[in-house]
Chains A and B, each alone.
Chain A
Amino acid sequence: MEKQIRDKAKELLSSQAVDCVIGYGRATDGVTSRPLFVYEPEKADELIFDKTCTHNLTKYLLNRKGKKTGIVVKGCDSRAINVLLNEEQIKREEVSIIGVVCEGIVEVSWNQVSEILQTRCRYCHQHAPLVYDFLAGEPIKELLPTGEEHPAVTEIEAKSLEEREAFWSEHFDRCCRCYACRQVCPGCYCTECFVDSLDPLWVGIRIAPAENQIWHSIRAFHLAGRCAGCNECERVCPMNIPLRLLNRKLANTVEELFNFQAGLNAEEMQPLGTFIKEENVGIG
């Protein structure tokens, strides 16, 4: 599969179909991966793909508007491509998608590669990308066993209001507002984020429990029906805040109310971005 990715990248760069291919390269620890920007065909051999390639690279497309770009995209990441296409943040003709078939990514951190599949991969239905120009790898015939419900979400739902408040407070109190969750998220591209606005000051600059709570709550709502579930926010959090639970809960709710999952196609408008008079979801 690596050879297919490299050959395609070389072809795209040599023919000047794109001026950059965004893929994965080896990290400095020698065992994990990192995003790699390839500008010259001869550097394409540095591209890799293995079970450590956890990053959702689609975020970088937002920095390359108006420039022809090739990008390596897994099944999960392809949903973010659809979200960005739907929201007119990227143009289909500017992006050459090298789709990869993915059997799952393992838990990775600096200098450590485990044998354990990431939680999101254990529930994955999307081993091949939904949108691509070229596909690397053989389609997987037999899907890995998946569950419909996310057990950790069900666990939290079973708690009382007070218990849930205590659970989230404990996590949010630790937040240092480094905004790594926002910066890595393809769905977070506001020209000015509400927490960065100083005039008016929507949220105070204090790195403190009340402000942290507002930050995470509003961000989660902004991503309801838009989060494609790549889980990058949780991966990058230095404070190990289980953001997946929040995003997953909201994704479940949106699916229940609107029968909609983010990023399955580029055409269908996301429910919270549209107003349909006839829609009656019992919330007002």
Chain B
Amino acid sequence: MTQIISKSDLITWLNKLAESHVLIGPVNDNAGVTLFRKVSQAEEIAFDFTNTTLSPKEWFFPPTETLFTVERKDGQVELVPAEDVEAKVIFGMRPCDARGIALLDKPFLNEPADTLYQQHRDKTALIGLSCREVLPECFCTSMGTAPDDSSNMDILLTEVADGYIIQVVTEKGAALLAECPEGLLKQSEVTPPALSSAATVPIEGITEIMAENFDNVYWERLADRCLHCNLCAYVCPTCYCFDVRDYNDKGKVERVRTWESCQSSGFTRIAGGYDRRAGKAPHLRQRFYHKLFYFPAEFGSVACVGCGRCVKACPVNVDIREVIMDVHNLGGQSGQQ
């Protein structure tokens, strides 16, 4: 027996949660873009979305946020750290994106933890939604998750004919469900329909082969096509490069952090103009070495969740699935191609 909730009752429950939380869910805008946005009521949520244009990482690692302000007051210098005070519920988190957040935890919560990221995590509950459809660009099952993976969620919902199956995963999730008005949850024998499987990508052993191919001419050839925009990094649930800048406005200083990417011209350029990743190929290579070599070496898993956003969004079809297969074909013969 499982607990299920009908769609209209789900909306009632989400609206109840919205009384005490900021409710965030996928919203379609007029221009054909779907993004995780604050909603004032659950009816605004696009329940039939496939995947969002940007990943929900923007609620933990926002495109732009103030880290702290420094102000001179009565002859004293006062530093005020930014604080996240809003309790949030994100509805509609896909399993790949939840794994993306779990991977972001590794660098951001590694000691010393990034305090603001930690607050966003603590203040936010995740109500996941299993995928109903495997898209042509999806390859999550090769990257350690699955369309119905409940790990990294607080609650996972799975859509069935007469509503949503509810799986409570954490205590935070149980607390949310406790707020569900009485009588809305039903018992059911229903089982979720089977999905077609996602594309398979040979990820096994990739880190070892990457170690052998840093100087391979392959990266030069791949970079021929790359435009070196930040698009792949910005749609990616696991990319976390940022830039920091201080703004001074009439004696009040604000330290701001924004998204950045390894493709931008200033990446790794240091005082004096030296750039240890100068040139187009080293920039593009950095993207794949970070995902498939540095991150696994540091944190134990590849920094990709198989959401397929970069595959779909890249204007010139730099396809990470193809890159992984190509790297396997390069084998251990560095520079021999």
Q: B-contacting residues of A (Cβ < 8 Å)?
A: 27-29, 32, 34-37, 55, 59-60, 63, 109-111, 170-171, 174, 176-180, 182-184, 192, 196, 198, 201, 204-208, 232, 235-236, 238-242
Compute how far the CA of A174 lies from the CA of B63 in the bound complex, rounded to whole angstroms.
Answer: 11
Query: How many whole Å from B55's CB to the nearest CB in chain A?
Result: 12
| Distance from A60 Cβ to chain B, minimum over Cβ atoms (Å) | 7
Q: For residue B63, which residues in chain A have a CB less than 8 angstroms away from its CB? A: 176-177, 207
| Beyond A34-B225, A180-B315, A184-B227, 14 additional pairs, beta carbon < 8 A | A27-B317, A37-B221, A111-B136, A111-B137, A176-B63, A182-B229, A183-B227, A204-B256, A206-B256, A207-B258, A207-B259, A235-B315, A238-B231, A238-B234
Tell me, in angstroms, the Cα distance from A238 to B313 when the chains sit together.
7
Q: Does B230 contact A (CB under 8 A)?
A: yes
**B residues near A179, Cβ cutoff 8 Å:** 229-230, 264
Given A28-B317, A28-B319, A171-B31: A205 and B256 within 8 A (CB)? yes
Residue in chain A with minimal CB distance to B322: A28
B321 at interface, CB cutoff 8 A: yes
How far is B136's CA from A109's CA once the two chains are assembled, in angstroms? 13
Interface residues in chain B, defined as those with a beta carbon under 8 Å from any beta carbon in chain A = 29-33, 35, 53-54, 63-64, 136-137, 221, 224-225, 227-231, 233-235, 243, 245, 247, 256, 258-259, 261, 264-266, 280, 311-313, 315-317, 319, 321-322
Enumerate chain B residues within 8 angstroms of A55, measured Cβ to Cβ: 315-316
In the assembled complex, how far is the CB of residue B103 from the closest CB belonging to chain A, in whole angstroms? Answer: 20
Pick the contact of A201 from B32, B235, B245 — CB < 8 Å? B245
Bound together, the chains give a CA A87 to CA B165 distance in angstroms of 62
Least CB distance, A184 to chain B, in whole angstroms: 5
CB nearest neighbor in B for A112: B136
Distance of A180 Cα from B233 Cα, bound (Å): 11
Closest approach, in angstroms, between the C-beta of B149 and any C-beta of chain A? 24
Q: A63-B280, A176-B234 given as contacts; is B137 within 8 A of A208 (CB)?
A: no
For A208, the chain B residues whose CB sits under 8 A away are 64
Provide 25 A-B residue pairs closer than 8 Å at the C-beta atoms, listed in order of the A residue.
A27-B317, A27-B319, A29-B317, A34-B316, A34-B317, A35-B224, A37-B224, A111-B136, A111-B137, A176-B63, A178-B231, A178-B234, A179-B230, A184-B227, A184-B315, A201-B245, A206-B256, A206-B258, A232-B315, A236-B227, A238-B33, A238-B231, A239-B31, A240-B32, A240-B33
Q: Is the CB of B312 within 8 A of A174?
A: no
Q: Could you tell me if A183 and B229 are in contact, using CB atoms closer than 8 angstroms?
A: yes
In the complex formed, the residue of A with least CB distance to B244 is A205
Residues A37 and B225 in contact, CB atoms below 8 Å apart:
yes
User: Closest chain A residue to B228 by CB distance?
Assistant: A183
Q: Taking the nearest CB of chain B, how far is it from the CB of A105, in angstroms?
A: 14
Residues in B whose Cβ lies below 8 Å from that of A241: 31
Of chain A, the residue at the smallest CB distance from B30 is A170
Scoring B224, B235, B312 by chain A CB atoms within 10 A of each residue's CB, the highest score goes to B224
A206 CA to B247 CA, complexed, in Å = 10
Which A residues lie within 8 Å of B245 (CB)? 198, 201, 204-205
Residue pair B229, A236 in contact (C-beta under 8 Å): yes
| Residue from B31, B35, B243 within 8 A of A205 (CB atoms) | B243
- Asked if A29 and B229 make an inter-chain contact with CB atoms under 8 angstroms apart, the answer reads no
Within 8 Å CB of B229, what residues of A?
Answer: 178-180, 182-184, 236
A34 — which chain B residues lie within 8 A by C-beta? 225, 316-317
> How far is A206 from B63 in the complex, measured between Cα atoms in Å?
8
